[in-house]
Homo-oligomer: A and B are copies of this chain.
Amino acid sequence: MATSALDTIERGIADPISADGPLSPDMLRRMHGYWRAANYLSVGQIYLRENPLLELPLTIDHIKPRLLGHWGTTPGLNMLYVHLNRLIAENDLNLINVIGPGHGGPGLVANTYLEGSYTEHYPAIERSRNGMHRLFRQFSWPGGIPSHVAPETPGSIHEGGELGYSLAHAYGAAFDNPDLIVACVVGDGEAETGALATSWHSNKFLNPARDGAVLPILHLNGFKIANPTVLARIGRDELTDLLRGFGHEPWFVEGDDPAKVHQQLAGTLDAVLARIQDIQAKARSGKGPIERPRWPMIVFATPKGWTGPRFVDGLPVEGTWRAHQVPIASFDNPEHLRQLEEWMRSYEPAELFDDDGKFREDYASLAPTGHRRMGSNPHANGGALLRPLSLPDFRAHAVPLPEAGQTKAEATRVLGGYLRDVMGFNLDARNFRLFGPDETASNRLEAVYEVSGKVWMAEIDSVDVDLSQDGRVMEVLSEHLCQGWLEAYLLTGRHGLFSCYEAFVHIIDSMVNQHAKWLKVTKAIPWRKPIASLNYLITSHVWRQDHNGLSHQDPGFIDHIANKTADVARIYLPPDANCLLSVADHCLRSRGYVNLIVAGKQPEWQWLDIDEAVRHCTAGAGIWEWAGDEGEPDVVMACAGDVPTLETLAAVTLLRDFVPDIRMRVVNVVDLMGLQPQSEHPHGLGDREFDALFTADKPVIFAFHGFPAMVHKLTYRRTNHHNIHVRGFKGEGTTTTPFDMVVLNDLDRYRLALDAISRVPRLSAQVPAATARYWAAIERHKLYIAEHGDDLPEVRDWRWSR
């Protein structure tokens, strides 16, 4: 290979002139060749359905009918991959990468193919002409693979479709993996998102002694799909300030001359690795407290669509937003075909691949081997590393219960004791963390601090409590960070639980969408091993936001999760502390789900002893015989959720007093998906089971924690659906008393009792008197709270009696 003029080099066709830097001329030549190969395969995936090695002159028949995928960021990602390969191979590193600019899917597929990982995961994609043909064709082809980095991409723990989560994912992967380095390419478009913008602060939560390292690489490509990026247009000084303000030491690698950039990038990677190793050595020396280091990071400023067409139809493409997607988008013009062929041939495929299409050993031998390859690192297939949690006996935490409704407990505080033991039992395994946005204590789980503090690597002051550099509780006022960290912690084979205020968990609606999709897709990928479930404890819920009012009142996350596919979504509404223990134990053992647990933190009456609780939660729903009458009822009093259960049982006592001969059945639902038909959800009760609980023809008064329509949506196919009358949250709220909240939403005991009487035909004569009693009770309530600012004693102090 001869050296050639700069212009030629910039098209990527020949070898670069060796500029000063750590790479020998031969190494530079080989790395450059590897990069050309990755670029060639990337363009091929986007464009070609036939003629993968360009053995024939390119014709329109070789081009895919639909051109998808993104070229713009790909050459930059490819260069980084080649250089990380060198770093890994030379230093025997345990390193994975997280790719924020996800539209660069073809580059990651290309690189894992070149290193052999891809073929090991997908044997049909051989390292040959045939394999390359299939590789090209499957990309963005129906039944093929997506155009982003995705679950299908070996080596990825990150779906590249929705932008913003790369850096939080990188940190989640690094926690408790002291030997792991996570390189994280952050797109400069992605950097504008809220989630990414706050993710930089993750470095205040990473302990260099205990955790691995994250190496952020800001890919300053300059453009989004249609605009420049903010960070590319604030000048280098302001950008440097910003990155230093995030606690980093930025190293700039910048240019459009591949030779110079190769050398600069190689030298920079060597330097930042040394810096990381220094930081870790110092932190791990055991000498004195650890100071939060200024972690290195790289700003990688290279042209968008580098080595692609400079101009198309007379308009500049390379280095502009026009290179973001497909630089040449149509082939109705023969000049376009010529330009694509020229572009692809500029990488000199025949020089890179042998006659059979195999990547030549001269280049291929640069890649790391075995599990050191980024596409084969087991950390990126966390299920393969997953060890079950060592779980304490949750029964040991049970609230003793001589009789239903005679003891109060704070459900989440009881759970906190159990979680303390979960934390304690797994301290040595270092594979369990608890996540929450400044709310662990507010949610009454603070017993965990007895065994582990909150991790905090920023400054610590004498008034601080429960902070610790070794803590395993993750608190930051960002639901995005809690979610992103936890997702990646799970994706790399560990366990966790996210406790959150019910209303504000909507902040991560979109993130859980993506994680749920990841779980769904991976169930069909044989080499992806199951990971631990994503467990939510949603508390400080809609019915007990005494302090906070309407802004804090929203049970819609149930609806959001219920829209996820049935192979992923699980929703539990334990009615009391013992049920919460049973549900939590089940969720921590489960794999591959999104488990949503909704439970209150306030002192509430307890209903089931631990054995009853286990039986009830295992069944998912059941008749509470002790609370109702035997045999065929006049009315079914159904409930799901702790406050609705309380109101239902209070309604039952009111009814006993007012209509002594009414025959009631009390049904409590823990596992919400049990309401759906079995055809829709694996937890669905069979139709006969459902009818056995809810009857085929009796009125059902259903008190529900969330929006009432959810119950209708789940039960509309059931025999007795037209008899199901649901009360729940209808959007009314304010800062008020607990009981006033249920009154505002017609979920109160008086309303439920009136509903019951109104729906039983044989009691129709009693409806006028019951209605009068209802209004009298509501009037008494309103007068009392206006005067006293608190609930009526008869409501506040009510307890169950049969």
Contacts and interface: CB of A to CB of B under 8 A. Distances in A.
B162 A504 contact: yes
A761 interface: no
A789 B319 CA distance: 30
Interface stretch (A91-99, A170-178, A334-342, A542-550): A542-550
A726 B246 CA distance: 50
A234 B551 CA distance: 31
Interface in A587-630: none
B459 A147 contact: no
A8 to B, nearest CB: 23
Contacts of A164: 194, 507
Interface string A487-524: 00000000000000001101101100110010011000
A613 B456 CA distance: 60
A559 B563 contact: yes
Interface in A422-477: 438-442, 454, 456, 458-461, 463-464, 467, 475-477
A353 interface: no
Given A148-B549, A550-B517, A735-B140, A458 B556 contact: no
B189 A438 contact: yes
B68 A735 contact: yes
A688 B734 CA distance: 37
A75 B737 CA distance: 27
A331 interface: no
Contacts of A548: 146-148, 161
Nearest to A736: B142
A245 B200 CA distance: 13
A671 B486 CA distance: 40
A43 B58 CA distance: 79
Contact of A192 (B321, B461, B478): B478
Interface in A69-92: 69
Contacts of A504: 162, 510
A709 B789 CA distance: 41
Contacts of A563: 556, 559, 707, 709, 731
A226 interface: yes
Interface stretch (A9-17, A113-121, A235-243, A268-276): A235-243
A459 B461 CA distance: 41
A140 to B, nearest CB: 5
Q: Report the copy number of this chain in the oligomer.
A: 2
Interface in A132-173: 137, 140-148, 150, 159-164
B463 A319 contact: yes
A246 B68 CA distance: 35
Interface majority SS (helix, strand, loop, mixed), chain A: loop
A320 interface: yes
Given A161-B549, A239-B245, A740 B226 contact: no
A66 interface: yes
Nearest to A168: B194
B193 A198 contact: yes
A672 to B, nearest CB: 13
B226 A735 contact: no
A5 interface: no
A230 B789 CA distance: 37
Nearest to A246: B242
Interface in A211-268: 224-230, 233-235, 238-247
Contact of A161 (B137, B197, B551): B551
Contact of A477 (B192, B247, B713, B790): B192
A554 interface: yes
Contacts of A556: 513, 560, 563
A680 to B, nearest CB: 9
A137 B513 CA distance: 44
Residue among A201, A230, A320 facing the most chain B CB atoms (10 A cut-off): A230
22 contacts: A64-B789, A65-B789, A66-B546, A140-B547, A142-B789, A145-B735, A146-B549, A148-B549, A148-B551, A162-B504, A162-B551, A192-B476, A193-B480, A196-B198, A228-B467, A229-B477, A235-B459, A319-B463, A320-B463, A513-B554, A565-B730, A716-B721
Q: Which 4 A-B pairs have the closest CB atoms?
A: A161-B551, A242-B245, A194-B194, A233-B458
